[in-house]
Amino acid sequence: MKRVVLAGGISVMIVTLWSAPARAGFLDKLMDQVQQTTEDRARRKVDEAIDRSIDKAQDKVTNPSPEGPKETGEEPRQAEEPVARPKANRPASVKEPAGEAPAATKPAVTESPIGQSEAASKEEPSPLVDAGKDFTPGTRVIAELTFERDMIGNFPRGLKLKSGNAEVAMVGKTRMLRATSFGEFVIPLPDVLPIRFTMEFDFMGPGGWDQSIRFDDRSDGYAVEFDPWRGGIRGPNNAEFLSETTAPPKNGTFPVQIMADGSYVKVYMNGVRVANAPTAMIGRSREIRVQMKADRGQPAYFGHVRIAAGGRSLYQSLMETGRYTAEGILFDTNSDKIRSESAAVLKEIGDVLKAHADLNLVIEGHTDNVGAEAANKTLSERRAASVKDYLVKELKVPAARLTTQGLGSTVPVASNDTAEGRQSNRRVELVAP
């Protein structure tokens, strides 16, 4: 009992000694703690609400509703510009490799993560993203190569092997030409390549060894180059129209497309335009030279070739370059009389003029350099006038929308030293002033 009383006495003493100021301070601290705890809980709830909103927004982006957007009375918000991809490191091209070929695949490119910085989001999109997919295949087939009738292990009968080692091989369920060394082969053509043409083919091979295609017999002229990493056009005097392409599938083929209209040439690789060259004089001849670079360890494959006349429409050409070469308008020798097979091209011109009432044209006549220049100029003027007369009289185009000009042989588009070049120079061009 004494112990209990003593303990109770001590308790009373402590309570008595706890003065009013001490009690007030304790209560203030207790209230501060309670308030801080309340505020922390409130903040956590707000953060959780924000996280839920972000998750819902991301779900809408990654998993859009099959029903489409609901009508709200507002115009739909446009998608944000894509973030520029970082450029992958690419080794310098190896023109004459002494050892093993570089790896066939390009280093993987990763997308920018969600939650990127404001500075990164304002970067310009990669030119690869917006590169136009405006390739328009020609309609009149000049040559098509599938190698389906060629025996496995043989060189195709329709081609000419100049150097190197190449043979037909199976790639999946199709046949392609497989090159296992540096070499060159030729695709013969039935006629000179027209001013407007397209070429399409599939390719698979090592990266870093620029394969090339030439459309004339000049070794110092313009050539289309391609490999899994980049492609475009290379010409004399350090002229380059080259850019990177998207990474092709590993150990898989990818398409290469070429669209030429006079000196205006576009090149597409793996669905991306890598060259847009308005001044590339790639030449024209009756054969196409393909230079392959490979070795037995890393062969190169080439196949599914289609070469066709045509490509860009008349109106596309006029809008992009300001001129159009009407190669299908033909005349008798030393005459201004239009041949009957020119009717289809003339009708196309008339249809474009009727569809675009604000379009006026200058009709230019051109010749080769055979004969006196004065006579050539007169002949070119008469041929331009014949085209105008046909459009006005037969197709009812207002004469005020057409003017003519004869330039003789002063503006060639090819060399006059060959029959093929002279044929290309004898032409009619339409110019949108």
Tokens of 357: 């009432």
Q: Name the one residue in this structure whose structure tokens are 């045509």.
A: 310
Long-range contacts of residues 325-331, Cβ cutoff 8 Å, at least 24 apart: 325/195, 325/196, 325/261, 325/262, 325/413, 325/427, 325/428, 325/429, 326/387, 326/427, 326/428, 326/429, 326/430, 327/194, 327/195, 327/196, 327/427, 329/387, 329/427, 329/428, 331/383, 331/386
CB-CB contact of 372 with 380 (8 Å) = no
CB-CB contact of 107 with 89 (8 Å) = yes
pLDDT of residue 326: 82
pLDDT along the chain (433 residues), means of 10: 42 44 53 58 57 51 43 34 36 39 40 36 41 78 94 95 96 94 96 90 89 90 90 90 77 89 88 88 91 94 94 82 82 85 89 93 93 94 96 96 95 81 84 91
| H-assigned helices in 270-372 | 314-321, 343-355
Distance, first Cα to last Cα, the chain: 121
pLDDT of residue 43: 57
User: Domains, the chain, ranges and CATH?
Assistant: 129-309 (2.60.120.560), 314-431 (3.30.1330.60)
pLDDT of residue 297: 92
pLDDT of residue 251: 66
pLDDT of residue 82: 36
Question: Which residues 6+ apart lie within 8 Å of 72 measured at CB?
Answer: none
Q: Residue 110: is it exposed, middle or buried by C-beta count within 10 angstroms (0-12/13-18/19+)?
A: exposed
Identity of the amino acid at 180: T
Distance CA 153, CA 176 (A): 11
Question: Which residues 6+ apart lie within 8 Å of 205 measured at CB?
Answer: 104, 179, 211, 227, 228, 292, 293, 294, 298, 299, 300, 301
CB-CB contact of 194 with 309 (8 Å) = yes
CB-CB contact of 202 with 228 (8 Å) = no
Alpha carbon separation from 119 to 46, 94, 127, 406 (Å, rounded): 27, 36, 19, 56
- Stated pTM of the model: 0.58
pLDDT of residue 53: 53
CB-CB contact of 142 with 190 (8 Å) = yes
pLDDT of residue 403: 97
Distance CA 388, CA 382 (A): 10
CA dihedral sign, ordered 325, 331, 333, 337: negative
**176: nearest Cα among 292, 309, 257, 267:** 292
